[in-house]
Chains A and B, each alone.
Chain A
Amino acid sequence: MNTEQPAMKGKRNVTKPSIVVGLVVIIAILPLVLSSIYMLHILILIFIYTIAAVSLRTITISGQFPLAHAAFMGIGAFSSGMIAKWLGWSPWLTMPLGALVAMGIGMLIGYPFARLRALYYAMGSLFFGIGVISIIYAGGDWTGGYSGLTGIPPLLPLGTSKVPYYYFFFGLAAVSLLALYRFEFSRIGLNLKAIAQSHIAASSVGINEGWYRILVVGVGCFFAGLAGAGYAHYNTVVVGTSFNFMATLWLVMYVLIGGINSFIGPIIGTVILILIPEFFRDLQTYSPYVTAAILGIVVYLMPQGLVGLPQLIRSRLFERRKGKRIANAS
């Protein structure tokens, strides 16, 4: 579970903001160009899952590998949806509330789980996630049981087109990513990376390992809950199976395929894994093969994920010119 950060290259930082601004402008004018409602729906899903995937990666920088992230999306989705439906509160209020519930539960279980490390943390969180889903199934009328919670009040009035939703989730994703980026490159983020490299050395210089691990789980779960709550009020129907173990594994895939060692990795991974199968929709039930092929190519040829691709190509070319081997494997 290697989560170390490669050193930032000062020279390239100059162009970074312009790339980000360019991307934001392109995404902002996309609905004016794109007429397909279905495509807008896919893009909205990409925004939601980007928040979840990036927040999952934020937890992994502390050396923990949670396998319950979709379950926290589920906690956010169901708590927000249930409060809005049964108490009649406004979705604008219940969405942050759902995120806070996910954060609270994440920090509560983070306390006993802080003594589990590496693989045992992953397994403990996996079982916790399964427990959450079975509690949702056992919830009867409150959660809708196996058939899911229906009739959740939508975020915007009924009959609103996809375009306002698109801009809302674009804004939500932008703010969340900015917050997570600031968090990762803050002093707290540095402490978390120190814990990931050696928890003993980190404790010996006065970093409170347990507290920081609980804190990062809380932050990660907050954004997962926010993404889940957003999904609930966008889709108005949520089913437990959308947040089960396989859904968590998909979030893990989004992170790993893009590259777990860089902030941009999960974003690229989410876009690629949600968008590419859409281009092969004509294949219908055979389209998972396309996903499997992409994953296979990445796992065999790109040890750093898709983010490492430019560097990989550069080093391959350089290697050929110089005529000597340069190790580019992780």
Chain B
Amino acid sequence: MEEALATLTNWLILSSMYILVALGFAFLFSIMGLLNLAHGAIYMIGGYIGLAFITSLGLNPWLALILTTIIIGAFGLFLERFCFRPFVGNFNRTVMICIVIILVLQTSVNNIAGTQTLSLPPFVEGVLRAGPASVSYERIVTFAIGAALLGAVVWFVNRTKWGQQMQAIAQDTEGAYLQGINVHRISALACFMSCGLAAIAGCLIGAYLYLGPFMGDFMLVKILMLVILAGVGSISGVLITGLVLGALDAVLPALLSGAYSDAITVTIVVVLLIIRPQGFFGRAVEM
């Protein structure tokens, strides 16, 4: 009972975090055609900046979370203007610039915070008890933030003017230009959101699991799997695939040792990719 409940909450939290980071990645992928390999590193640096605000400056964790989001979002604006925009449509140079970003961020973290794993202090203390079951508030709050943000992003993309402009660009960039949409401004907005979401996920995972300079590599692989399997331009696809991948990652390690569960997850993903290369929900991307 206890273990099943832990697995269930773990599943929901992992899924919501994967989806948060993957949605940001999917925005850049569908709007700018950008395979942002540095997204994992941005997620990682988000956690570390949150940690710096809380431990070094002694800020309230919630204030730190908001400040981190804004700072990493602004960093995203910088990246969009100087690192991504000059190389739109050039796969090779995009890969190179992403490696540069990863190198700079990881080396900075290694030198400033060290290579050992750290963790953020919990955002809330305490445990919710209901009869025999107990769930820590930490888990509930993490999942609640994740779910609320997902709802907000879905609302933003579907119901606001900017969100609809993003969809228009994702469908047809030149068509969007012809309709008078400022593609660069919308790309910058997407980058801001993308990096901000990654930063929030970094802080939450930093408090829920751990912080390490290489946590981004793990997350990058997960979101690549998620976005490629979901296909381009489908938010509901990302949600469903995220739940499935989260379930694999929450349930398999409880049954098998870590390396075996990784191998099984990857095998499933490769088989699914071969069955349906263009993704299960969206459309294929031409590159």
Interfacial chain A residues near B224, Cβ < 8 Å: 123, 126-127
Does A291 contact B269, Cβ atoms closer than 8 Å?
Answer: no
How far is it, in angstroms, between the C-alpha of A145 and the C-alpha of B99 when the chains are bound?
28
Chain B CB within 8 A of A159 CB: no
Chain B CB within 8 A of A128 CB: yes
- Of A112, A131, A256, A296, which is within 8 A of B274 by CB? A112
Given contacts A288-B106, A291-B103, A303-B93, contact A145 B259 (CB under 8 A): yes
How far is it, in angstroms, between the C-alpha of A129 and the C-alpha of B277 when the chains are bound?
17
Chain A CB within 8 A of B110 CB: yes
Segment of A13-21, A133-141, A177-185 in the binding face: A133-141
Shortest distance in angstroms between A286's beta carbon and chain B's nearest beta carbon? Answer: 6
Interface size on B, residues (CB 8 A): 42
Complex interface bits, B211-240 against A, C-beta within 8 A gives 1, otherwise 0: 000000100010011001000000000000
Shortest distance in angstroms between B258's beta carbon and chain A's nearest beta carbon? Answer: 8
Does A134 contact B266, Cβ atoms closer than 8 Å?
Answer: yes
How far is it, in angstroms, between the C-alpha of A152 and the C-alpha of B111 when the chains are bound?
34
Does B274 contact A253, Cβ atoms closer than 8 Å?
Answer: no
- Of B97, B99, B259, B284, which is within 8 A of A134 by CB? B259
- Of A128, A138, A289, which is within 8 A of B270 by CB? A128
How far is it, in angstroms, between the C-alpha of A267 and the C-alpha of B286 when the chains are bound?
30
Which A residue's beta carbon lies closest to that of B110? Answer: A285
Does B274 contact A116, Cβ atoms closer than 8 Å?
Answer: yes
How far is it, in angstroms, between the C-alpha of A299 and the C-alpha of B35 when the chains are bound?
16
Given contacts A288-B103, A291-B103, contact A245 B259 (CB under 8 A): no
Shortest distance in angstroms between A109's beta carbon and chain B's nearest beta carbon? Answer: 9
Chain A CB within 8 A of B287 CB: yes
Shortest distance in angstroms between B134's beta carbon and chain A's nearest beta carbon? Answer: 33
Interfacial chain B residues near A300, Cβ < 8 Å: 86
Chain A CB within 8 A of B273 CB: yes
Size class of the contact patch on chain A:
35 or more
Given contacts A116-B274, A249-B37, contact A256 B259 (CB under 8 A): no
Chain A CB within 8 A of B107 CB: yes
Chain B CB within 8 A of A30 CB: no
Complex interface bits, B72-96 against A, C-beta within 8 A gives 1, otherwise 0: 0000000000000011001111011
- Of B37, B86, B100, B273, which is within 8 A of A116 by CB? B273
Chain B CB within 8 A of A246 CB: yes
How far is it, in angstroms, between the C-alpha of A138 and the C-alpha of B262 when the chains are bound?
9
Chain B CB within 8 A of A298 CB: yes
Chain B CB within 8 A of A196 CB: no
How far is it, in angstroms, between the C-alpha of A298 and the C-alpha of B100 when the chains are bound?
11
Does B93 contact A138, Cβ atoms closer than 8 Å?
Answer: no
Chain B CB within 8 A of A118 CB: yes
For chain A, residues 242 to 279, give those with C-beta under 8 angstroms from any C-beta of chain B. Answer: 245-246, 249, 252-253, 256-257, 260
Which A residue's beta carbon lies closest to that of B37? Answer: A249
Does A131 contact B273, Cβ atoms closer than 8 Å?
Answer: no
Does A246 contact B217, Cβ atoms closer than 8 Å?
Answer: yes
Chain A CB within 8 A of B152 CB: no
How far is it, in angstroms, between the C-alpha of A252 and the C-alpha of B287 when the chains are bound?
18
Chain B CB within 8 A of A130 CB: yes
Complex interface bits, B89-121 against A, C-beta within 8 A gives 1, otherwise 0: 011110111011001101100110000000000
Does B93 contact A257, Cβ atoms closer than 8 Å?
Answer: no
Shortest distance in angstroms between A139's beta carbon and chain B's nearest beta carbon? Answer: 8
Given contacts A252-B95, A256-B95, A285-B111, contact A123 B228 (CB under 8 A): yes
Does B266 contact A127, Cβ atoms closer than 8 Å?
Answer: yes
Interfacial chain A residues near B87, Cβ < 8 Å: 299
Which A residue's beta carbon lies closest to that of B35? Answer: A119
Does A299 contact B97, Cβ atoms closer than 8 Å?
Answer: yes
Interfacial chain B residues near A295, Cβ < 8 Å: 96, 99-100, 103
Interfacial chain A residues near B111, Cβ < 8 Å: 285-286
Does A245 contact B221, Cβ atoms closer than 8 Å?
Answer: yes
Complex interface bits, B244-287 against A, C-beta within 8 A gives 1, otherwise 0: 00000000000001111011001101100110011000001111
Shortest distance in angstroms between A36's beta carbon and chain B's nearest beta carbon? Answer: 26
Shortest distance in angstroms between B229's beta carbon and chain A's nearest beta carbon? Answer: 9
- Of A127, A257, A291, which is within 8 A of B225 by CB? A127
Which B residue's beta carbon lies closest to that of A296? Answer: B100
Does B274 contact A115, Cβ atoms closer than 8 Å?
Answer: yes
Interfacial chain B residues near A168, Cβ < 8 Å: none
- Of A1, A138, A299, which is within 8 A of B100 by CB? A299
How far is it, in angstroms, between the C-alpha of A130 and the C-alpha of B257 when the chains are bound?
16
Chain B CB within 8 A of A124 CB: yes
Chain B CB within 8 A of A318 CB: no
Does A137 contact B259, Cβ atoms closer than 8 Å?
Answer: yes
Interfacial chain B residues near A212, Cβ < 8 Å: none
- Of B96, B266, B273, which is within 8 A of A256 by CB? B96
Shortest distance in angstroms between A148's beta carbon and chain B's nearest beta carbon? Answer: 13
Given contacts A126-B224, A286-B111, contact A118 B103 (CB under 8 A): no
Shortest distance in angstroms between A122's beta carbon and chain B's nearest beta carbon? Answer: 8
Given contacts A134-B263, A299-B93, A299-B97, contact A292 B273 (CB under 8 A): no
Contact sample, A vs B, 7 pairs, CB 8 Å cutoff: A131-B267, A134-B266, A138-B259, A256-B92, A289-B104, A299-B87, A330-B90
Closest 3 CB pairs of A and B: A138-B259, A137-B259, A134-B262
Name A's B-contacting residues (CB within 8 A).
1-2, 65, 112-113, 115-120, 123-124, 126-128, 130-131, 134-135, 137-138, 145-146, 245-246, 249, 252-253, 256-257, 260, 285-286, 288-289, 291-292, 295-296, 298-300, 303, 330
List 14 extra interface pairs beyond A127-B270, A127-B273, A249-B99, CB under 8 A.
Answer: A112-B274, A119-B91, A119-B287, A120-B284, A126-B221, A252-B95, A256-B95, A257-B96, A286-B107, A286-B111, A289-B107, A295-B99, A295-B103, A300-B86
